[in-house]
Amino acid sequence: MARSHPRWRVWLRYASACVAAGMVSLGGSFLFYTHRARAAQSAVAPRPAKALVAQRVTTYYDASGRMSSIIASRYVRYTDHSLVVSQQMRYPKQMDLLTQTLDRQSEREIYMDPRTRSVTTLSLSRAKQESMTSGNSQESCLAADMARALPDGVYFGHQTLHLTENLPAGGTEESWFIPELDCFNVKVVTRAGGASRASTETLVESLVEGEPDRSLAAVPSGYTERSPTAVDDLLRKAGNQPAFGYGWASRMEKQYQRRKVQ
């Protein structure tokens, strides 16, 4: 498996632990959870991205094959490579979760929690955003992947390629992606190896091509700037699951204190 960005490795371990425990991600850097971790590309000026808005659903299964949770997400990509990913839990209960934005125009990384009406804003240069997304499996095609993948069906009017990867401890990951849309994944099936035997299935339900409305990246009115730990404290006091919890909050808090927008 290709080398992944260090930040993704943290998130991959976090996501795997949540799935193994029959839980779901309520926070963390889900934007950079790469299904097929690819090697970062050389530092060159990025060409315009294939803009789109996709609605996708991820279903999590425990070791016995029983469904443990369902998370719906909206994936928004602009031609300038700005990204917005918002999540909503559908099962075992319904609630809105974190939205994460990488905004190339304002050079900011933004997290929005609808339950506390909080926004957490960090500065992030265009160059660093490019470094973080250049190897993301949703955002780039790699020659080695293209060479190994096989044609397998048409999704949303586009030919897809099918790729199978071996994961640690005997796990596997199958992905179906569209080369014409910067290798955007339309289906991913992951089966964990080892003791957990948990699995996930992600399927894109709808996909609309074209430049999205910029308002989808905007912070709603009435939101208050808060640090990651302040957001989680409010949620815990209300008896809710934390937004940045399970080990991610402390990392995010350090990042926030270094990069918060004054």
Q: What are phi and psi of 235, to 5 degrees?
A: -65, -45
Residue 113: strand pairing partners: 118
Q: Judge whether 7 and 135 are in contact, CB under 8 Å.
A: no
CA distances from 225 to 75, 93, 122, 160, 252 (A): 23, 27, 11, 41, 14
Question: pLDDT tens, 230-254?
Answer: 999 999 999 998 998 767 888 889 9
Question: pLDDT tens, 14-50?
Answer: 343 343 333 333 444 445 444 444 444 444 456 899 9
pLDDT of amino acid 131: 80
| pTM as predicted | 0.84
pLDDT of amino acid 41: 42
pLDDT at 184 over 80: yes
Burial status of residue 262 (CB atoms within 10 A of its CB: 0-12, 13-18, 19 or more): exposed
| The domain over range 6-40+47-259 is classified in CATH as 2.50.20.10 | yes
Question: pLDDT tens, 106-137?
Answer: 999 999 999 999 999 999 999 988 887 776 76
Q: Where are the domains of the chain?
A: 6-40+47-259
pLDDT of amino acid 34: 41
Give the other-Cβ count within 10 Å of 27's Cβ.
Answer: 25
pLDDT of amino acid 135: 66
